Amino acid sequence: MENITNIITVICIMAPVIIFGVIILAKRSKYQNRSNAGAFFFENDSLVLNTGIPYPVPFDEIECVELHYNSWELEHKLSYSLMVKVIRKSGQTKRVFYKGYRTAKLALPSDMEAALQEKGIRCVMVGK
């Protein structure tokens, strides 16, 4: 009897974790371009922030995207820290922190800026 109680307890504890994992996998599998994308990617006329659960922002709702980075890290290290701040026309903002590596499709902030400008999105580079 004690064995069955232990099994039920483990199932009750693990069920939310398993459900959360399935939700994340389902949300991430909706996007085709997420693999090795870096801080964000473009899909379905949206800028999709590449977080645990991807966060899409339609192009027509974006006022500006700010890329905050440390220029010393870019020059002297293989990886760098980046904050992507998406400012919507409504005034709402969404911030995402990203650890950048030079192996991603949009590897450097300058690559990201060029890609955003190509899509007609204003980008502000904020180097420290």
Q: Is 77 helix (H, G, I), strand (E, B) or coil?
A: coil
Query: E strand or H helix at 74, and its extent?
Result: helix 71-76
Distance in angstroms (rounded) separating the CA atoms of residues 48 and 56 = 4
Domain ranges in the chain are: 1-30, 34-127
- Cβ(123)–Cβ(64) below 8 Å: yes
Question: Would you identify the CATH topology of the domain 34-127?
Answer: PH-domain like (2.30.29)
Q: What pLDDT tens digit does each residue of the chain (128 aa) get?
A: 677 787 888 788 888 888 777 776 666 666 665 666 678 888 888 998 887 778 899 999 999 999 998 888 877 777 788 899 999 999 999 999 888 776 666 678 888 898 899 999 999 988 77
